[in-house]
Amino acid sequence: MRAQQILIGELDALLRPFGLTFARYEALVLLSFSRTGALPLRRIGERLMVHPTSVTNTINRLEQAKLVIRRPNPADRRGTLAEITPAGRELVEAATAELMAAEFGMAGYDSARLDALFGLLWPLRVDAGDFAS
């Protein structure tokens, strides 16, 4: 808990100049790494493990900032796609460069320790259904 509290503080501070919170940054990254640059809101919620209404809110803010646009989902007319814009890609790349320069708040951790942490936390996430979709 305390470690996350420290990390989220640093990351949000690094992202503030970009007008992003960590939650919005995560959504942008997810879109930027998707095959087509667009995902149904449902999928975003699954991957980020957040409530549907939270996804709506996050995408609203990103849309207001013109970093994503909403499009009807051709495969399911109930649904909506969030698609990252060129401006969104530019911003997420700049933000990621900044975060990488700060080593995502984990400066001082070598690869072995990072791997060890990831491996230790993995089963917790699997049990909770992360990585499921």
**Would you count residue 65 as binding a second copy (CB under 8 A)?**
no
Cβ 57 to DNA, closest distance in Å? 6
**Taking CB within 5 to 8 Å according to partner kind, which of a second copy, DNA, none is near residue 117?**
a second copy
DSSP 8-state symbol, 129: T
- Is residue 69 within 8 Å of residue 63, measured between CB atoms? yes
Q: How far apart are alpha carbons 123 and 129 in whole angstroms?
A: 10
**Would you count residue 49 as binding a second copy (CB under 8 A)?**
yes
Cβ 65 to a second copy, closest distance in Å? 22
* Whole-Å CA distances, 68 to 43, 61, 102, 116: 15, 9, 26, 35
**Taking CB within 5 to 8 Å according to partner kind, which of a second copy, DNA, none is near residue 71?**
none
**Would you count residue 116 as binding a second copy (CB under 8 A)?**
yes
Q: Which of 80, 3, 8 is nearest to 39 (CA)?
A: 80
Q: Which residues of 104-116 are buried (b: 16+ CB within 10 A; e: fewer)?
A: ebeeeeeeeeeee
Residues that bind DNA (CB under 7 A): 5, 9, 21-24, 40-42, 45, 50-61, 70, 73, 76-81
Residues that bind a second copy (CB under 8 A): 1-8, 22, 49, 105-106, 108-109, 113, 116-117, 120-121, 123-125, 127-128, 130
